[in-house]
């Protein structure tokens, strides 16, 4: 097969195929006497798998998984896939918490943070763990003026109230739908005016994105299974 045939099937450019090859995501490609690449059905399966994994899991993960497949470290590759699916499930749970936040006035009614109910403030680490977000993201949002935690009088450390945590949940969820911090500011302003209609619509839309991602992940896994069968059959033929 030539690159144009495969590229046309996958609706991508031949340069993309060369990038995948240069990144070490497909087995070695032999060349004809005229210098043209000679692709096999196995290469086509690799390219299909890369595209499918990229859609469901992102190219960063595909770049980790494909070299493992080439080097026959199948279980290592599958565990990476499994971890990504677990992460997506956790993300769904976090967004669902945000929807509950928008339906409730009492943060401690629904959140695991209620185990800290005997205290009036929380550390940045506790907030990050509860909201499934990095501390650097929280600091960035503070720098942008989206949250304004107080400082502990003695230690000077940031301290977060339940209201601050509520805002962190909402910010991280809205940013899944829109990347503009200006829109996030508008959403927070609406919330401050007790107008949560648009915010809840965005949170529900975020859940829909997660559902779509799940479908794409399953399709990526199906493509990976097809590749593994082709690789296995090739190995048996060579024995």
pLDDT per position as a tens digit, 69-124: 999 999 999 999 999 999 999 999 999 988 988 887 655 554 555 555 566 788 99
The verdict on 116 and 195 lying in the same domain is yes
The verdict on 228 and 187 lying in the same domain is no
User: How far is CA 195 from its chain centroid?
Assistant: 29
Q: Count how many domains the chain has.
A: 2
- pLDDT at residue 15, as a whole number: 93
- pLDDT at residue 215, as a whole number: 97
The verdict on 42 and 94 lying in the same domain is no
Specify whether the CB–CB gap between 3 and 37 falls below 8 A. yes
Rounded to an integer, what distance in angstroms lies between the CA atom of residue 94 and that of residue 206? 11
The verdict on 184 and 90 lying in the same domain is yes
* C-alpha dihedral (127, 133, 134, 136), degrees to nearest 10: -80
- The residue ranges of the chain whose pLDDT is under 50 are 110
The verdict on 130 and 193 lying in the same domain is yes
- pLDDT at residue 197, as a whole number: 86
In degrees and rounded to multiples of 5, residue 129 shows phi and psi of: -65, -40
Q: Is residue 31 helix, strand or coil?
A: strand
The verdict on 126 and 143 lying in the same domain is yes
Q: Which domain holds residue 42?
A: 3-83+218-238
Instruction: State the CATH number of the domain containing residue 50.
Output: 1.10.1660.10
**25: closest CA among 49, 9, 41, 1?**
49
The verdict on 92 and 185 lying in the same domain is yes
**140: closest CA among 175, 113, 186?**
175
């Amino acid at each position: 097969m030539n690159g144009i045939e495969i590229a046309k099937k996958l609706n991508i450019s031949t340069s993309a195929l060369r990038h995948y090859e240069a990144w070490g995501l497909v087995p070695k490609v032999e060349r004809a006497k005229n210098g043209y690449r000679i692709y096999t059905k196995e290469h086509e399966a690799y390219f299909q798998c890369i595209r499918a994994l990229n859609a469901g899991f992102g190219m960063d993960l595909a770049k980790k998984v494909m070299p493992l497949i080439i080097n026959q470290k199948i279980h290592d590759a599958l565990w990476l896939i499994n971890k990504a699916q677990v992460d997506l499930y956790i993300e769904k749970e976090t967004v669902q918490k945000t929807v509950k936040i928008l339906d409730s006035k009492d943060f401690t009614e629904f959140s695991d943070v209620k185990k800290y109910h005997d205290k009036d403030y929380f550390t940045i680490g506790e907030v990050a763990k509860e909201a499934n977000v990095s501390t650097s993201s929280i600091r960035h949002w503070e720098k942008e003026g989206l949250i304004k935690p107080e400082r502990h009088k003695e230690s000077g450390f940031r301290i977060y109230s339940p209201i601050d945590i509520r805002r962190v949940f909402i910010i991280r969820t809205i940013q899944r739908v829109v990347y503009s911090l200006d829109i996030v500011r508008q959403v927070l302003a609406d919330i401050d005016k007790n107008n949560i209609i648009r915010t809840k619509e965005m949170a529900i839309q975020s859940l829909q994105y997660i559902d779509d991602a799940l479908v794409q992940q399953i399709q990526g896994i199906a493509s990976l299974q097809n590749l593994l069968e082709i690789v296995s059959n090739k190995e048996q033929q060579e024995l």
